[in-house]
């Protein structure tokens, strides 16, 4: 039992070594993708099973609204700097 407890973490690190190295060396992350998946799951749960096209449209509208809000915040900051 102790041998398995010692080998299991080593095997796990070995199996995930390419992903670990990508993260450490190239700073590659799946955070945005995981965040989008989480949002889609939450939307689907709230909507009691939307169709795929409906979920895609809702996600696109949400992304456009987020981009618009970021642009407005940027404009407000620039206005405060100059004025």
Domain boundaries, the chain: 1-48, 50-83
Round the average pLDDT of the chain to a whole number and report it.
Answer: 86
- Burial class for 55, CB neighbours closer than 10 Å (0-12, 13-18, 19+): middle
Q: From CA 58, how far away is CA 41, in angstroms rounded?
A: 12
Q: What pLDDT score was predicted for residue 58?
A: 86
Tell me how far the alpha carbon of residue 65 is from its chain's centroid: 17
pLDDT at 71 over 90: yes
Over pLDDT 90: what percentage of the chain?
27
**pLDDT, tens digit (0-9, with 9 covering 90-100), for 22-31:** 888 888 778 8
Q: From CA 40, how far away is CA 55, in angstroms rounded?
A: 7
Could you give phi then psi for residue 16, rounded to 5 degrees?
A: -100, 10
**pLDDT, tens digit (0-9, with 9 covering 90-100), for 2-40:** 777 777 788 888 998 998 888 888 887 788 888 888 988
């Amino acid at each position: 039992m102790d041998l398995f407890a010692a080998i299991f973490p080593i095997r796990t690190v070995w199996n995930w070594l390419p992903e670990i190295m990508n993260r450490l060396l190239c700073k590659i992350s799946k955070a945005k993708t995981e965040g989008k998946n989480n949002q889609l799951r939450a939307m689907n749960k709230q909507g009691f099973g939307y169709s795929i096209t409906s979920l895609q449209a809702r996600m696109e509208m949400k992304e456009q609204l987020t981009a618009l809000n970021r642009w407005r915040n940027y404009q407000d900051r620039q206005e405060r700097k100059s004025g």
